[in-house]
């Protein structure tokens, strides 16, 4: 049958993806720790995905771990990242016919993501974001970015500097001038 519904759109892919995630590959952090991760989950990283595709799945599964050399990929960060991709690999795929980039950007984080990214250790949080950026996991970078922006919301410059440990490299005069220029934003009706 030409129009057999079971073969439309290849959404039997879901089963293939589930099967592939049973295959475990090894990822090595910059500190030397080696961690297992499902193949489909690991391929949420475009960096890993490209490596797997150039080496071939069989090679990746049987040989040495994939080395993630960037300093941000610490053991702790890599463990967090694996936790995230293992939770999200079976998310419904983004449908570009319907979902607007803009809508997605404005969407609030899910409850799970909020809890996941709300870590007390800011060095670890920044490692996770930088590592996700290096590994090219766009969804996770977005989670980190939204989290930081939600913490900046409504805060003064000084509060933001203290929270994110940002060095103020403006002179007092420069800072004052910018403040004056932006004074309109505080205007009441």
Q: Which residues bind other proteins (CB under 8 A)?
A: 3, 5, 8-9, 11, 14, 71-72, 87, 90-92, 95, 97-98, 102-103, 105, 110-112, 121-123, 126-127, 129-130, 133, 141-142, 144-146, 148-149, 152-157, 160-161, 164-170, 174-175, 178-179, 181-182, 184-187, 189
Q: Strands 24-28 and 66-67, how do they pair? A: parallel
CA dist 52 and 43 (Å) reads 8
Burial of 133 (C-beta count, 10 Å sphere; 0-12/13-18/19+): middle
Q: Closest CB to other proteins among 40 and 60? A: 40
Within 8 A by CB and 6+ apart from 12, the residues are: 6
Q: Closest CB to other proteins among 9 and 58? A: 9
Q: Closest CB to other proteins among 16 and 157? A: 157
Question: In angstroms, what is the minimal distance from the CB of 177 to other proteins?
Answer: 9
Question: In angstroms, what is the minimal distance from the CB of 146 to other proteins?
Answer: 5
Cα angle 157-161-163, degrees, rounded to a multiple of 5 = 115
| DSSP three-state, residue 25 | strand
Q: Closest CB to other proteins among 37 and 76? A: 76
Q: Closest CB to other proteins among 52 and 143? A: 143
Question: In angstroms, what is the minimal distance from the CB of 138 to other proteins?
Answer: 10
Which of 11, 75, 83 shows the shortest CA–CA distance to 41? 83
> How far, CA to CA in Å, does 171 sit from each of 158, 163, 176, 177, 185?
14, 20, 9, 10, 22
Q: Closest CB to other proteins among 54 and 165? A: 165
Question: In angstroms, what is the minimal distance from the CB of 70 to other proteins?
Answer: 9
Question: In angstroms, what is the minimal distance from the CB of 161 to other proteins?
Answer: 6
Question: In angstroms, what is the minimal distance from the CB of 155 to other proteins?
Answer: 7
Within 8 A by CB and 6+ apart from 23, the residues are: 38, 39, 57, 61
């Amino acid at each position: 049958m030409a129009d057999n519904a079971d073969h439309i759109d290849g959404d039997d892919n879901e089963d293939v993806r589930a099967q592939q995630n049973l295959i475990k590959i090894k990822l090595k952090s910059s500190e030397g720790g080696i961690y297992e991760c499902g193949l489909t989950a690991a391929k949420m990283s475009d960096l890993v995905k490209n490596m797997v595709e150039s080496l071939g799945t069989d090679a990746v599964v049987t040989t040495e771990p994939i080395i993630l050399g960037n300093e941000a990929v610490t053991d702790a960060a890599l463990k967090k990242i694996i936790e995230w991709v293992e939770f999200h690999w079976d998310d419904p795929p983004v449908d570009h016919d319907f979902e607007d980039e803009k809508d997605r950007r404005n969407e609030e984080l899910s409850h799970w993501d909020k809890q996941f990214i709300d870590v007390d250790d800011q060095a670890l949080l920044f490692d996770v974001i930088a590592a996700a950026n290096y590994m090219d996991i766009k969804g996770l970078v977005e989670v980190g970015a939204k989290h930081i922006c939600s913490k900046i919301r409504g805060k003064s410059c000084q509060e933001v500097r203290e929270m994110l440990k940002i060095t103020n490299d403006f002179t007092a005069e420069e800072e004052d001038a910018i403040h004056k220029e932006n004074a309109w934003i505080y205007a009441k009706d």
